[in-house]
Structure 1
Amino acid sequence: MLQTLFKTIATNADFKNTIWKSFLKRWFVISAMILFVTAIFSEDIYHADEYFQTIEFTNYKLGNINSDMLPQEFRDQIRPWLQPYIYLLITKASYKFGIYSPFTITFFFRLFSAFWAWVMIALCCMMTPQFYICLDQRRFTVYLLNLIGILPYMLVRTSSDALSTSFSMIGFALLFLGSIPKSCTPLERSYSNQLLFCVGLIWGVAFEIRFATAFLLIGFLLWFVFSGIKTLKKTMKQLLVFFVGICLPIFLSTLLDSYAYGNWCFAPWNFIVQFKNANIDATRSSYIFDTLPFWGYFKLVFSSEHTIYSFINPILFYSSIVGIIRQPKNVLSWITTVYIIFISLIPHKELRFLMLIIIPACFLTTFAISPSNNTNNFFNKIWNWRKSWGAWFIYIANFFFLIMYVNGPNKDYFPINKFIYNNVPSNSIVFLIHCQPYYTNYYLRTHFYQPKNVSFIDQDSIPSIKKISQPIFFVTFTDQQDSLNSEEQKVELLFSYQKTNLYSLFRKLLGKKNFKVWRLYKLKLKKSSEASEDFFNTVKRRKTKLLPY
């Protein structure tokens, strides 16, 4: 069976074309290198959910935190446990080999995401002959899949968005690579029951990582039914096999969720109830979201929430719309259209919700600019424009963003987290003066990155401390060194970090100051082991005006 499947995949990937095969092999290596380097350096958190909905759940199962330290989603039992338990296995395996650093362990998490992202991109590159006859169109799609600045960074995240995108598109690519095209068109195919069952398993796993994958599934099923309407009886039998494959991971994950939460539950249903309440009647829900109208995504893609989004997203999004218009019967058009409709019906909108269709968007972008049979057609001019100076400007700008995000970090508090973990000794006290290096903007603490035997005390607790025998450190944004040195104590600067981005560099050129600089100081007492209350009050009074980032 596997031998037959591999032969079918090789045929559908057009491996008989040696030039094309060599091209793909070269890009398989390039893709692996980009994803691996990105997994190493992008240590930060893009969105809080990629930490609190996955890693912090794992941290709870490790026994490091209590359930009341978890986000509201835990109490509502709406998050699936499949991804946190995968991370739990990786963490315990790391412990077996004597690896305890949370930063190394989260690198393994990102490497896990990067591996499946690489498999997904490789399969999607191999799938291009099923959509394009022209070699130039295939190559252009391969370039998009591998070099769009946002993709490597987003695909190696520990978020459910990243992992579900990889698994859903792996299933989709296998369905087209493992099936046999009919003579009339490559999109009309003959599927084996074994293939449909295996793809159903993969899509079931994708659903249990992120429930929004169901919207992609609905689009595909609609296309599958309408494309096989002439043989409806056979199509329905195939769908039954497909659904059995999908339901198996859902059933097993429901057992896992019930075990993890401590009672019988069906997380997808809980999610629907809570999300419905949040969007219809906020008084009945634990969640209050910002809302946008149905057409919100058409405007949101221009948002400057994320630098790279503001540049890439409009191009991909609107090119996809053009591609859908030009190829209305294509399966990628169906799944993208249905997905956009469903997430547009949800009042709460975020750019990251578009992550699941970013791979189809690459294919649709190629459709959008592909030439037509009419030599004087507008799209022929667009296709030829891709080699112009204007197009090269876009390519270079995109490459700049690719390098920038491969080389993270994006969040400024990660370097000081790492320094504290590696350099502050056990049984120390770290005072947090007008700053919170272990908090995100969601007011939840990132416990996983905190050293276990170090006490962190907020400035509000300092006046009650009169005598301290442990090593004393404090974190602040202000320059304290010169003003706080005296005959009784000495302040030593151990670490300083300032986030550098285009905005901060521009303000430096203009001579502006008051940038946020994380500083870690060590207090050395000269005459006694007693740290005076006046000293800490002096530290607390020294605030600094910070610029918003």
Structure 2
Amino acid sequence: MKLSIQSILIFLSVAVFTTTAYYSVGFFHADEHFQILEFIGIKAGWNTPNDVVWEYHTQIRSSIQPSIAHGLISIFKLFGITDSYTLSFLLREVTGLTLIFALVFFYRNTNHLIQSKKNPQNNNLLKYLYLGFLLLIWYVPYLGVRFSSETWSAIFLIFAMGCFCSQNKTPRTLIITGFFFGISFLFRFQIAFALIGFGIHQLIFGTQKLKTSLSIIGGFLIALLVGIFIDRWFYSEWVFTPWKYLQTFLHPDPTINFGELPWDYYLNRMFHLPTKLIGTLLFLSLTSTLIFKGRSPFIWMILSFILIHTFIGHKEERFLFPIVFFFPLFFVQFFQLLIDYIPKKVALALIYLTTLGILTTSIIGLPILASTSAGLGRNGITHFIHQNYQGRPVNLITMPYSNPYAPWFRGENFYLDKNVSFNYINKFEELDSSRIKKDTVNLFVTTRLFLDTYPRRENIQKLGFKLIQQSVPAYKLKMDNYVREIDDQQVTYLYELKK
């Protein structure tokens, strides 16, 4: 049986996503762990309310994702799967496969938007590039397997826009669109910034505005109602978490300071983080879409999302993640405009050169991210300890903010191995023979910051500790500068006492 190019791209993406899900141990941002996996522990038994972060007590987080995770983990355990790292891999795998399904669904309902009417003979090229970019641009599998609120919000936003762009819309399709919008909102409330842009677009350009709007709003309200019942189960009382979150946003706790970044932070990140090549293509694509396809709901959603985030002082690159999966649509629409408005040979030359650049970037980036622990790789260290020292007592001597099980003195009970005990020191001078335990595996962990900054690091070698693992391998750390940015001062180094 001869496979089509589309089938090959889908099968390849499944392989890449699965590989990435397996090796991408841990989390990109702390919220991905502490507000989901640790929240589950309240229902599953490994945590009490006193063990989790303050967001649980203020009830400002929708419980839809912890509840889904709790259900999935319960199912996995029925099949005898209890290892924490295997469970988290399966959560990432489910996330990745669900995103692939969403992206293929989105592709099938939106590929008519990138077809050239002036040069239809090039439409197959545009379609193959579109699907390939959607599934396999270097950052997509890495972000696509994150069991985070950003990724799951993106998944349902993709489903929603896939439904909305269907060429055979019915009232039922519009209700489902609204429902998916609502579920996307429950995963991450800030997706409302994109929905505001969508709503404004509908008010200006929408057809059958009242009927369409009522159907979408109806579906959205159904999703909110589902969220209320889920929160009632999780928090054991009736609570409307979006309202609680809004109150906290409008009246923040003065003792909690997240910091503020300049207004152009997101513009800077969008240009640099996906590599300057893709960043340049992104800005050209958004600008051309705004000029030539200004009636597109996507440009209104994306610009609204970015603009409103720009006015909020607390900024993080992950806040952009829910919209990055839409960027390939803008890329290929830009290609289509090139084919339609400039000489064909020049257009195709530019498209081939740009695609070659993206392909080269992805050939470098995909293997790095597919074989590296997430974020700063701290859970790669805990996974290494878990795999190599099971059943043996471990004395983990740790410098401040270096403990991979509790990098901010907040314990990761989900991954905690009972055979590991902690021995905290504040400086290298305290690393002496009194810290060593007999008949125990003695490990020492620190970060690059202490190794570069603090004196007496020679104590590590004098006692007989040898480097056995680091959270980001040296060669990957060097290559990483070309595809993403890492604070190498926070890279973790694990040493073992060799007798």
User: Shorter-chain TM-score: which interval?
Assistant: 0.7 to 0.9
Give the aligned partner of residue 195 of structure 1.
173
Residue 387 of structure 1 corresponds to: 352
Partner of 1:11: none
2:248 maps to 1:270: no
Residue 367 in 1 paired to residue 328 in 2?
Answer: no
Question: Is 2:232 the counterpart of 1:243?
Answer: no
Aligned with residue 261 of structure 1, among 232, 235, 238: 235
Paired letter, 2:215: V
* CA separation of 1:479 and 1:37: change in aligned 2, threshold 3 A: farther
CA distance in 2, matches of 1:103, 1:216: 34
Structure 1 residue runs of 4+, over 4 Å off? 308-311, 372-377, 439-443, 460-463, 465-470, 477-482, 501-507, 514-517
Q: Shift of residue 268 of structure 1?
A: 0.8
Letter aligned with residue 127 of structure 2: R
> Which residue in 2 is equivalent to 1:483?
462
Task: From 295, 304, 327, give the equivalent of 1:329.
Answer: 295
Task: State the shift of 1:317 in Å.
Answer: 4.3
Shift of 1:426: 4.9
CA distance in 2, matches of 1:128, 1:94: 35
- Give identity over the alignment, percent: 21
Aligned to 1:431, the other structure's residue is in SS state strand
Aligned residue among 139, 146, 152 for 2:135: 146
Q: Which residue of 2 aligns with 1:519?
A: 494
SS at match of 2:422: strand
Unaligned runs of 5+ in 2: 117-122, 447-456, 481-488
* One-letter amino acid of the structure 2 residue matched with residue 288 of structure 1: F
8 Å contact kept, 1:438–1:447? no
- Alpha-carbon deviation of 1:81? 0.7
Following superposition, the deviation at residue 286 of structure 1 comes to 3.2
Are 1:200 and 1:242, in contact at CA under 8 Å, matched by a contact in 2? yes
Counterparts of 1:314 and 1:445, CA distance in 2: 41
Residue 352 of structure 1 corresponds to 318
Per the TM alignment, residue 419 of structure 1 is displaced from its structure 2 partner at its CA by 2.6
- TM-aligned CA deviation for residue 502 of structure 1: 5.1
Aligned residue pairs, count = 468
Residues 330 and 226 of structure 1: CA distance in aligned 2, closer, same or farther (over 3 Å): same
Q: Does 1:22 align with 2:11?
A: no
Counterpart for residue 60 of structure 2 = 78
1:503: how far off?
7.4
Q: CA deviation at 1:41?
A: 1.7
**Equivalent residue, structure 2, for 1:205:** 183
Q: Give the alignment of 1:434-453 within 5 angstroms.
A: 434=399, 436-439=402-405, 442-453=408-419
Cα distance change of structure 1 residues 332 and 75 upon mapping to structure 2, 3 Å threshold: same
Whether the aligned pair in 1 keeps the contact of 2:260 and 2:314 (CA below 8 Å) is yes
Pairwise CA RMSD: 3.5
Q: Is the 8 A contact 2:445 2:494 kept in 1?
A: yes
Note if contact 1:498-1:515 (Cα within 8 Å) is conserved in structure 2: no
What is the CA-CA distance between 1:149 and the residue it aligns to?
0.6
Tell me which residue corresponds to 1:298. Answer: 267
Structure 1 regions of 5+ residues with no counterpart?
1-18, 181-190, 486-490, 508-513, 525-549
Q: Distance in 2 between matches of 1:165 and 1:467?
A: 48
Residues of 1 paired with 2:443 and 2:382: CA distance? 13
Name which of 29, 36, 41 aligns with 2:18.
36
User: Contact conserved, 2:469 with 2:494, CA < 8 A, in 1?
Assistant: yes
CA distance in structure 1 between the partners assigned to 2:151 and 2:436 by the alignment: 49
Show CA shifts across 1:257-291 (max 9, x none).
2332343321111212222334xxx62x6343323
Partner Cα separation in structure 1 for residue 390 and residue 48 of structure 2: 24
Is 1:129 aligned to residue 111 of structure 2? yes
Distance 1:244 1:44, change over 3 A: same
Pick closer, same or farther for the CA change 1:169–1:87 going to 2, 3 Å: same
Task: Specify the code of the residue in structure 2 equivalent to 1:261.
Answer: Y
Query: Is this contact kept in 2: 1:127–1:173, CA < 8 A?
Result: yes
Residues 292 and 62 of structure 1: CA distance in aligned 2, closer, same or farther (over 3 Å) = same
- Conserved 8 A contact 2:271-2:280: yes
- The Cα shift of 1:318 comes to 4.6
CA contact (8 A) 1:324 1:364 kept: no
TM-score by length of 1: 0.75
Counterpart residue type for residue 349 of structure 2: N
Structure number with larger C-alpha Rg: 1
Q: 1:383 to 1:356 in 2, by over 3 A?
A: farther
Q: Deviations over 1:109-152 (max 9, x none)?
A: 10111121111111122124320224132222222212211111
Residue type matched to 2:134 in 1?
L
Shift of the 502–520 alpha-carbon distance from structure 1 to 2, 3 Å rule, reads closer
Q: Which secondary structure does the structure 1 equivalent of 2:444 belong to?
A: strand
In structure 2, what is the equivalent of residue 218 of structure 1?
Answer: 196
Q: Which amino acid aligns with 2:162?
A: A
The TM-score, its normalising length taken from structure 2, stands at 0.82
Aligned with 2:418: secondary structure? Answer: coil
Q: Which has the higher contact order (CA 8 A, sep 6+)?
A: 2
Aligned-partner residue type, residue 518 of structure 1 = Y
Is 1:396 the counterpart of 2:375 in the alignment? Answer: no
* In 1, Cα distance between equivalents of 2:342 and 2:467: 66
Moved more, 514-523 or 152-161: 514-523
Contact 1:62 1:88 in 2 (8 A): yes
